[in-house]
Chain A
Amino acid sequence: MPKSIYLDYAATTPTDPRVVKAMQPYWSKNFGNPSSLYRLGRVSQQAIAQSRQLVAKFLGCQPEEIIFTGGGTASINLGLKGVLIAQEKNSHLITSSIEHHAVLHTAETLHHAGHKISILPVDKNGLVQLKNLEKAIENKTVLVSIMMANNEIGTLQPIQQLGTFITKLNKQRLAKKLPRIYFHTDACQAAGALDLDVNKLHVDLLTLNGSKIYGPKGVGVLYVRRGTPIQAILDGGGQEKNLRSGTENVPGIVGLATALNLVNKNKIKENIRLIKLRDWLIKQILTKVPKTILNGHPNYRLPNNVNVSVLDIEGEALLLHLDQVGIQCSTGSACTSTTLEPSHVIRALGYPYEAAHGSMRFTLGKQTTQKDLKYLMSKLPPLVKKLRQGSPVNIQVQEITQAVQDAPRKIKILK
Chain B
Amino acid sequence: MKIKKTKSRSKAAQEIDLTPKDNKESWVYSKTVKQHFFHPQNLVMDASKITDYDGLGMVGSPACGDVMKVWIKVNKKEDRITSMQWQTFGCGSAIGATSMLSIMVTENKGMKINDALKIKPQDITKRLDGLPMRKIHCSVLGDKALRSAINNYFLKSGQKKRLIEESKRLIDKIAKVTDSDIEEAVLDGALTLEAVQKKTKVGIGNPSVIPEVKQLIRFYREKYFN
Which A residues are within 8 Å of any B CB, using their own CB?
312-314, 316-317, 320-321, 324, 333-336, 338-340, 342, 353-354, 356-357, 389-393
> Closest chain A residue to B45 by CB distance?
A389
- Is B43 a contact of A392 with CB atoms below 8 Å? no
Please, which residues of chain B bring their CB within 8 A of the CB of A339? 24, 189
Find out whether the CB atom of B64 lies under 8 angstroms from the CB atom of A335: yes
Could you jot down 28 A-B contacts, CB within 8 Å? Answer: A313-B89, A314-B65, A314-B66, A314-B89, A314-B91, A314-B94, A317-B91, A320-B37, A320-B92, A324-B38, A335-B66, A335-B90, A336-B91, A338-B24, A340-B63, A340-B64, A340-B188, A353-B62, A353-B65, A356-B65, A357-B65, A389-B45, A390-B43, A390-B88, A391-B87, A392-B87, A392-B88, A393-B89
1/0 contact string of B20-47 vs chain A (CB within 8 Å): 0000110000000000011010011111
Which one of B40, B47, B58, B66 has the highest number of Cβ atoms from chain A below 10 Å of its Cβ? B66
* B residues apposed to A, CB below 8 Å: 24-25, 37-38, 40, 43-47, 58, 62-69, 87-92, 94-95, 134, 138, 188-189
Q: How far is the CB of A409 from chain B (nearest CB, A)?
A: 22
Which single residue of chain A is at the shortest CB-CB distance from B134?
A: A340
**A333–B91 touching, CB < 8 Å:** yes
- Known: A317-B95, A357-B65, A392-B47. Is A338-B89 also a contact (CB below 8 A)? no
Q: Is the CB of A316 within 8 A of B44?
A: no
A299, chain B: closest CB distance, angstroms: 30
Complexed CA–CA distance, A321 and B134 (Å): 21
Say how far A343's CB is from chain B's closest CB, in angstroms. 12
Assess whether A390 is in contact with B67, with CB atoms less than 8 Å apart.
Answer: no
- How far is A336 from B92 in the complex, measured between Cα atoms in Å? 10
Q: Which residue of A lies closest to B137 (CB)?
A: A340
Q: What separation, in Å, do the CA atoms of A253 and B44 have in the docked complex? A: 55
Task: Please indicate the chain A residues that have their CB under 8 angstroms from the CB of B94 in the complex.
Answer: 314, 335
Q: Do A316 and B91 form a contact, CB below 8 Å, given A340-B63, A340-B134, A389-B46? A: yes
Q: How far is the CA of A126 from the CA of B91 in the complex (A)?
A: 27
Chain B contact residues: helix, strand, loop or mixed? mixed
Q: Which residues does chain A contribute within 8 Å of B68, judged by CB atoms?
A: 392
Question: Are B40 and A338 in contact, with the CB atoms below 8 A?
Answer: no
The 8 Å CB contact of A392, one of B25, B62, B69, is B69
Beyond A335-B138, A353-B62, list 14 extra A-B contacts (CB 8 Å): A317-B90, A324-B38, A335-B94, A336-B91, A338-B24, A340-B189, A354-B65, A354-B89, A389-B45, A390-B87, A390-B88, A391-B89, A392-B68, A392-B87
Name the A residues within 8 Å of B189 (CB-CB).
Answer: 339-340
- Complex Cα distance, B88 from A313, in Å, reads 9
Give the docked Cα–Cα distance between A390 and B91 (Å): 12
